Amino acid sequence: MKKTFLAKPIQYSEIFRKFAYGLFLSAVFMWGLTVFFILFAHAETMDETDETIVTSPSPEMLDRVRDAFSQFQAATPPEHFNGMKAKANSIVRNKLCGGVAGRPGGADSHPEGDGQGNQSNNGNCDPPVQYGQGGQTEAGATQPELGTEIPIGQSEQGGKVAASDAGSRVYYFFSFSMPDESLQRSVRDVYELRKQGTNVVMVIRGFVRNDMQSTVMAFEKLKRESGIESDLPVDIDPPLWEQYGITVVPVLISSSRKGIGKVTGDVGIPYALSRIDTKIDDYGKEGHTYEIAEEDLLKVIEAKKPLIEAQVRQRIETLQNEMYLLKKHDGQYEKATRDRVYYIDPSLVLTDDILDHEGKVLFPKGSVFNPADHVRLGRYIIIDGNDPGQVQLALDGDYRKLMLISGDLAKLAGTHKKQFWFVPDDILKRFQIRRVPTIFEQEGRNVRVTEKAI
């Protein structure tokens, strides 16, 4: 099989930018040397007090500086860039033509010059497609605007296009209905082409057996059998299949600013690219084709839309019903069988300084703060909302808040026309709650906790 060398286009604007940047850095360096020399090389001692002044630079020094800057500011002759351009074109042309004898760039070729060191093509080997500044090719032709649709098989100038053209992209449409050998060969070809800089993407229409897990497993198996350790460049893109009218696989599409080429059939990606590189065209069916096993992912989703919506509605209703139902503490707290009282010191020790808006320390680190010195804590009760006896105890008492460790808050509130609250976890931990019902209230500077038997 004929080898096709893929070369990246030469960007002369990039060469000129780097060259200009180098000139700028050189000028800055010379300016720095001059300033250093002026400031330090001609200082004179004024008196014994070690007081010094800086002398003005001599006229000769200024003349040398002006000469140096004028040399750096002088424009580089255009002939310099023409020589670089001709040399780069020659190297790329030899690569694309393969250096075969009898062809331009080959061992026995005798190209004629164009007066600037550029070789003529003699009609045997076109130069690579190159895009320069201003949206024009080397021949001066304007590039098509990005997003402009060019029918398959038509090129703006009727010439060939290299797979590495700027803005080009290669799509390989495949399916897991293809033989394992073809799939593995295609994966290896894509991997190698991407290493060489060709933008090749494998495209599949949907999930394997309409299942994401099955699709992931199929891809992993394909990678393992193909000997590829890196990630596969695979897209699931049903609209792209419709855009190019893909009805069988495999199909290779090469889309660039020069046109769109298409090869259908299991002929290998390198061969298909070589056809399109020779001439942009729709070559039709050139090898075996296979049915597409995967369904269009968007159509599958659309078909399942009513079921998905029903499941979402059911889930929302479940969440609404459960959001007022507390279950996480079920079975963790015993029911109190006897009255028991203990005390908790609510004091807090500051672990950091407390600052005001001006950064001044209001309360230093290590300060002890007791809320009971500043506010009245009130009286609270913690109950199991699933126990009617505990609920009635809470309703009969005078409590600031009725807190639940378990139960249906919405149902209790609707039944008893009383507001209930879920108990915060930090309260359970801070007041060492072990049994319910539990009543806690302030007594002096402490909190009295009472386990109440009913």
Tell whether pTM > 0.85.
Answer: no
pLDDT on residue 13:
62
- Distance between CA atoms of 259 and 153, rounded to whole angstroms? 7
Average pLDDT, the chain: 76
Comparing 8-17, 172-181, 292-301, 337-346, which segment has the lowest mean pLDDT? 8-17
More confident residue, 414 or 16: 414
Q: What is the mean pLDDT of residues 171-191?
A: 94
- Distance between CA atoms of 130 and 116, rounded to whole angstroms? 18
Query: Would the pLDDT of 408 be above 60?
Result: yes
Residue percentage of the chain with pLDDT more than 70:
66
Residue percentage of the chain with pLDDT more than 90:
39
Spatial contact of 325 and 420, defined as CB atoms under 8 Å apart: no
Long-range contact pairs involving 212-219 (C-beta distance under 8 Å, separation at least 24): 218/176
Binned at pLDDT 50, 70 and 90, residue 3 comes out as very low
DSSP SS3 for 128? coil
Spatial contact of 435 and 415, defined as CB atoms under 8 Å apart: no
More confident residue, 24 or 314: 314
* pLDDT per position as a tens digit, 308-325: 888 888 888 777 777 888
- Full set of structural domains in the chain with CATH: 12-97 (no CATH), 169-285 (3.40.30.10), 334-451 (no CATH)
Query: Would the pLDDT of 387 be above 60?
Result: yes
pLDDT on residue 393:
94
What number of residues does the chain have?
A: 454
DSSP annotation of 335: E
Spatial contact of 336 and 438, defined as CB atoms under 8 Å apart: yes
Query: Would the pLDDT of 117 be above 50?
Result: no
pLDDT on residue 16:
66
pLDDT on residue 37:
64
- Distance between CA atoms of 360 and 365, rounded to whole angstroms? 13
Residue 84 has a CB neighbour count (10 Å cut-off) of 16
Sign of CA dihedral 85, 86, 91, 97: positive
Comparing 279-288, 326-335, 395-404, which segment has the lowest mean pLDDT? 326-335
Chain position carrying tokens 């994401």: 212
446 has which bridge partners? 443
* pLDDT per position as a tens digit, 31-88: 777 766 666 554 444 444 444 334 445 555 556 656 655 554 444 455 544 555 455 5
* pLDDT per position as a tens digit, 138-175: 333 333 333 334 456 555 444 444 444 556 889 999 99
Query: Would the pLDDT of 182 be above 80?
Result: yes
More confident residue, 330 or 83: 330
Q: What is the mean pLDDT of residues 15-38?
A: 70
pLDDT on residue 328:
86
Spatial contact of 220 and 233, defined as CB atoms under 8 Å apart: no
pLDDT on residue 454:
86
Q: Residue 338 burial (CB < 10 Å; 0-12/13-18/19+)? A: exposed
